[in-house]
Structure 1
Amino acid sequence: MTPPDTRTQLLDAAEHLFAERGFHGASIRAITDLAGANLAAVGYHFGSKAQLLTAVVLRVVEPINAAQSAGLDKLLARTPDPEVTELVEAFAGPLFDEMATADEGGARKSRLIMRILGDPAEEMREWPGPAEDTVRDRYLAAFAHALPALSANELWFRIRGILAVAAVDRVDVHNGQPPPGRSSAAARRWAITFLTAAMSAPPTGT
């Protein structure tokens, strides 16, 4: 098997350290040491630490975004008014499917998403590009159509809750915390049932 190139080694090391320590906690020296690369390698391959973060996150989220977009396309091709549970499955399903827990990589992806949601570093807010904005906006519009009573702010809060539930579950499975014998398929079904109820709850008001 061909060993990974330096760029891939840097991405792997940075994904691990950003997930564990956050943006500011993961130094360039720690990343290059873990990757077995020299300090100049980050600048050569990515330009800056912030651009390295963007590359790391995009590598994780692009397959998820693609699956989410495909799921929404399929729903809207069938009907202009998908049910909330269908939208939840199209959005949440890929989070379970693309963050497999059979190896360290899947759990690391989950931890990275949790870190993105909670890290106060400005760089964690700045990584999304047009593709991520498009997926977000399409789901916001679809959920807003299905749940017209919700304000835009509350709707986005609930959608972020979908991300958090899926990521926490994936990390817990990897760490061996769920009950023995519980399958990922069952967790996926439970999550979709729970998240559909959460998304469909009456608005909380001001």
Structure 2
Amino acid sequence: MATPDTRTQILDAAERLFAELGYRGTSVRAITTLAGANLAAVGYHFGSKAELMAAVARRVVEPLNAAQCARLDEALARTPDPLVSDLVEAFVGPLFDEMRAGEEGGARTSRLIVMILSDPAEEVRGWTGPREDAVGERYLAAFARALPGLSPEELRFRMRGILAVTAVDRLGTHQRPVPGCTPPVGGEAARQWAITFLTAAMSAPPTRT
């Protein structure tokens, strides 16, 4: 097996440390030490710690986005106006596929997505670009057709909820079991529970203010 190149080693180390310690809690020195690289390697390959964060996030999220787009294309090929449940399944399915219980890769993806959602650092919130935004806009448009009574703002809030609920559930499947507590369920049952729950959440009446 070929040894990973320096850039890949840095990405692997940064993904692990960002997920465990957050953006501000992770130093460039800690990343390069874990990667077995010199301190200047981050600047050479990525330009800055913020750009490294963006590269880590994109490496994890781009396969998810591609799968979500493919699932949405399939749903739209069947009908121009998919049901809410079909849209939720198209959005959620790739998350379960990439964050499988019992797999270390799934655990890393789960931790990183939860970090992206919760870390207060501006560099974490600002990593997305046009490609990532386009996926959300496509789903937003499809949900808007299925749920015409919701404002764009509330739709965006509910879509963030889909991602947050799924990521936290997947993260729970990788945690060490707490004595006396029932561990989270993985597999197809959890996927179907998530689709049922999130479909109901997305379909709830508009909030009256």
Question: Normalized against structure 1, the TM-score is what?
Answer: 0.95
- Considering only aligned residues, what root-mean-square deviation do their CA atoms show, in Å? 1.4
Is it true that 1:197 corresponds to 2:190 in the alignment?
Answer: no
Unaligned stretches of 5+ in structure 2?
none
Is contact 2:150–2:206 with CA below 8 Å preserved after alignment? yes
Q: Which residue of 2 aligns with 1:59?
A: 59
Cα distance, 1:179 vs structure 2: 3.7
Distance 2:188 2:36 in 1: 38
Q: Which runs of 4+ in 1 moved over 6 A?
A: none
Please give the residue correspondences for 1:8-157 in structure 2 after superposition, counting only pairs within 5 Å. 8-157=8-157
Deviations 1:137-183 (A, max 9, x none): 00001111111111111111111111111111111111144846934
Aligned residues: 206
Unaligned stretches of 5+ in structure 1?
none
Residues 141 and 14 (structure 1), Cα distance of their counterparts in 2 relative to 1, 3 Å cut: same
Letter in 1 for 2:55: A
Distance 1:152 1:71 in 2: 22
Is contact 2:173–2:184 with CA below 8 Å preserved after alignment? no
Distance 2:36 2:55 in 1: 19
Residues 112 and 181 (structure 1), Cα distance of their counterparts in 2 relative to 1, 3 Å cut: closer
Structure with the higher helix share, 1 or 2: 1
Q: Which residue of 1 aligns with 2:190?
A: 187
